[in-house]
Amino acid sequence: MKLYIIRHGETFGNLNGDGFSETDLTPKGERQIELLGERFRNERIDKFYVSPLVRAVKTANAVREHHKSTPIIIDSLLLEKGTDPGYIGLADEKIKKLCPDAQINHRTPLGEENDEKAYSRAKRIIEKIKEENDFDSTVVVIAHGTFNSYLVLAALDFPLKENFNFSHVNTGVTLVQTIKENGIVKTKLKFLNDYSHLDEKPQL
């Protein structure tokens, strides 16, 4: 399986230091997701899994513009860590307005969440993705800067380490691939936080 883990485009919250509230994309973020969509124009994608926050749904739409028949699943397991404990994302009707054929999974609020709970949540969604897709599938996950680090750890079956995370710039792309070599299943990190599609390189 090819598992792409992608962060949404730049938001107004990213600019003012509030990356956890429900904030929309900036004009720069709109350009970033357009370029991200072009990057994946000719890539086979079998399924999208997307956070129910507006910035993630809009980012997914830009990629899916070239893959209109590919199923898109909205799942609250992909909410950003630090999201308001009672917030479950955009209302169904708002998601449907942005993406009429989206499948919206049952949603529950995250509640208060520490590192261990966030990592456990990441493992749950990774296991769900593995169960729902074939070994040769290509899956795109679009979520958030902090939570994507937990997703990468879970996908690689790495343990949680205190005060550690990966860098994920806006629309940064990470690829974790599961392959068979000589009958042995191996999981490989092919690349992390790639932003070569952007015309304005981010400051790291």
Question: How many percent of the chain have pLDDT more than 70?
Answer: 99
pLDDT for 22 equals 84
- 3-class DSSP state of 9: coil
Q: Rounded to an integer, what distance in angstroms lies between the CA atom of residue 17 and that of residue 15?
A: 6
Confidence of residue 181 (pLDDT cuts 50, 70, 90): confident
Supply the DSSP string of 95-114, one letter for each residue: HHHH-TT-EE-------S--
Q: Rounded to an integer, what distance in angstroms lies between the CA atom of residue 59 and that of residue 101?
A: 16
pLDDT for 194 equals 97
pLDDT for 183 equals 85
pLDDT for 19 equals 65
Q: What would the mean pLDDT of 173-190 be, rounded to a whole number?
A: 93
What is the model's pTM? 0.96
Give residue-wise pLDDT tens across range 76-111: 999 999 999 999 999 999 999 999 999 999 898 999
Rounded to the nearest integer, the mean pLDDT of the chain is 94
